[in-house]
């Protein structure tokens, strides 16, 4: 029977549809734009979200994983709170000794005083850097890897020697682009000489530690003349994973007692941070899906509109095809393929853009863009779906044409 078989069934309608699409290439390309934008934005944002998630997981592990709890000093947000905060001394180094005694379930304590960005000046180079004063435990608890000189020992660090561990960017700037050459260099930090005893191992171009300068907390207290400085953060490591669930509450209770009932610290786990980050990414993904959805819907409406207009303009041709023996189902497939080809054109271009991140070298962007074969298949499926949905009505109308009426035009 005509219209059946492999040639009549698929190749012929596809070939005729391709001629029609090619014959109006500009129109087809313009119509396909919305599908392209939908598929491309979806894939790029999927790749970006995946990359951010992967980086957050890496960051989570670098911050000590599930077992590290972070205590951050907060500031009063109104006059009432200000009065309340005055009753407390705030988060102090002396708190750590009390907490260490009272909370044996924690086996690592990392007090930190952060100078913030841009407040460090180094001899011979003006470097924007983020200063942190902390104890030796910071290296162990947070698993920080450092390229060291022989100067860098726990004893020297804890004794308050004027030592520095600097990030790769800082090291590069003070040693003409060769980080390793920074080791042993003497720099002025806040007008006081200190020796570079270590360089943080960089995890890539966008590693936040690249711009960090870390000094011993003992040196900081001596220079400041304050044996009990206010801490910016305190990181505490829970010894056993089983105790993690209760640890934040216990820590908070203990700090409340120490701070005379004033809630002047935030206690959060890395899981909380990871969860917050996931929520942000999920929100971003949802917005992207909405935008891509609107784009794809516009694409479908556009293809449907062009399909119907195209059908009206060549009713005679289709009627002639029927008179020559084309079956209704063959015309259905032919017109459906036309929509599929236009959607495929847009979707294909969108997939190409989605694949492009694979060509970007690692470290060029803050995030590694990650896209799986399933995502690409998903993009392809969406394009096909748009083509089918928008092509069904014109295809059905084409198949129902009365050849006599159609040939009259």
> Rule CB under 8 A: which residues touch another protein?
1-8, 12, 19-20, 23, 316-317, 320-330, 403-404, 407
Residue placing its CB nearer to another protein in the complex, 3 or 64: 3
CB of 23 to another protein, least distance (A): 5
Q: How far, in Å, CA of 401 to CA of 330, rounded?
A: 12
Residue with tokens 């799986």: 372
Minimal distance in Å, beta carbon 373 to another protein? 35
DSSP state, residue 229: P
* Residue 333 near residue 398 (C-beta atoms within 8 A): no
Q: Closest by alpha carbon to 350, among 397, 299, 408?
A: 299
Q: How far is the CB of 334 from another protein (least distance, A)?
A: 11
Tokens of 268: 């959060």
From the CB of 9, what's the least distance to another protein, in Å? 8
* φ and ψ at residue 145, rounded to 5 degrees: -90, 135
**What is the token pair recorded at 235?**
């990181």
3-state secondary structure of 90: coil
Question: Which residue, 20 or 207, is less far from another protein as judged by CB?
Answer: 20
Task: In angstroms, give the least distance from the CB of 309 to another protein.
Answer: 16
Alpha-carbon span 380 to 343, nearest angstrom: 10
Nearer to another protein, 12 or 291 (CB): 12
Selection from 94, 91, 71 nearest residue 237 by Cα:
71
Identify which of residues 3 and 347 has a Cβ nearer to another protein in the complex: 3
CB closer to another protein out of 25 and 381: 25
**Alpha-carbon span 396 to 379, nearest angstrom:** 26
Of 337, 130, 90, nearest in space to 234 by CA: 90
**Residue (12 or 66) nearer to another protein, CB:** 12
Distance of alpha carbon 53 from alpha carbon 56, whole angstroms: 5
Q: Based on CB atoms, which residue is closest to another protein, 33 or 320?
A: 320
CB of 22 to another protein, least distance (A): 9
> Which pair of structure tokens corresponds to residue 21?
């699409």
Give whichever of 6 and 150 is closer to another protein, judged by the CB atom. 6
Closest approach, Cβ 28 to another protein, in A, equals: 14
Judged by DSSP in three states, 237 sits in: strand
CB of 395 to another protein, least distance (A): 16
Residues in contact with 265: Cβ distance below 8 Å, sequence separation at least 6, in sequence order: 71, 72, 73, 74, 91, 252, 255, 259
Strand-pair partners of 68: 237
Task: Give the SS3 label for residue 132.
Answer: strand
In terms of CB distance, is 3 or 38 closer to another protein? 3
């Amino acid at each position: 029977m005509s219209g059946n078989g492999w040639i009549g069934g698929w190749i012929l309608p596809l070939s005729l549809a391709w001629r029609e699409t090619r014959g109006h290439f500009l129109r087809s390309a313009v119509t396909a734009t919305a599908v392209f934008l939908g598929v491309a934005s979806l894939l790029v944002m999927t790749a970006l979200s995946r990359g951010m998630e992967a980086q957050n997981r890496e960051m989570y592990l670098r911050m000590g994983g599930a077992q590290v709890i972070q205590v951050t000093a907060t500031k009063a947000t109104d006059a009432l709170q200000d009065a309340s905060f005055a009753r407390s001394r705030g988060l102090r180094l002396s708190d750590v000794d009390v907490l260490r005694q009272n909370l044996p379930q924690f086996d690592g304590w990392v007090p930190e005083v952060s100078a913030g960005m841009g407040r460090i000046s180094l001899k011979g180079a003006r470097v924007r850097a983020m200063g942190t004063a902390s104890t030796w435990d910071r290296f162990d608890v947070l698993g920080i890897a450092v390229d060291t000189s022989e100067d860098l020992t726990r004893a020297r660090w804890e004794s308050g020697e004027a030592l520095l561990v600097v990030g790769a960017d800082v090291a590069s700037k003070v040693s003409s682009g060769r980080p390793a050459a920074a080791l042993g260099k003497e720099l002025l930090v806040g007008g006081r000489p200190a020796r570079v005893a270590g360089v943080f191992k960089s995890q890539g171009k966008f590693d936040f530690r690249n711009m960090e300068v870390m000094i011993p907390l003992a040196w900081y207290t001596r220079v400041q003349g304050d044996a009990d400085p206010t801490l910016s953060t305190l990181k505490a490591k829970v010894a056993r994973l089983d105790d993690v669930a209760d640890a934040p509450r216990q820590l908070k209770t203990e700090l409340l007692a120490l701070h005379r009932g004033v809630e002047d610290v935030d206690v959060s786990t890395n899981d909380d941070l990871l969860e917050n980050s996931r929520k942000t990414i999920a929100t971003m993904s949802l917005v992207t899906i909405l935008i891509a959805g609107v784009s794809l819907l516009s694409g479908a409406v556009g293809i449907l509109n062009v399909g119907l207009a195209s059908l009206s303009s060549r009713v005679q041709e289709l009627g002639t095809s029927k008179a020559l023996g084309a079956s209704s189902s063959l015309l259905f497939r032919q017109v459906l393929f036309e929509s599929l080809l236009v959607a495929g054109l847009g979707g294909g271009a969108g997939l190409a853009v989605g694949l492009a991140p694979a060509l970007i070298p690692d470290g060029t962007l803050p995030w590694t863009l990650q896209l799986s074969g399933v995502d690409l298949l998903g993009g392809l499926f969406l394009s096909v779906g748009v083509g089918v949905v928008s092509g069904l009505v014109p295809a059905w109308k084409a198949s129902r044409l009365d050849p006599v009426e159609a040939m009259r035009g």
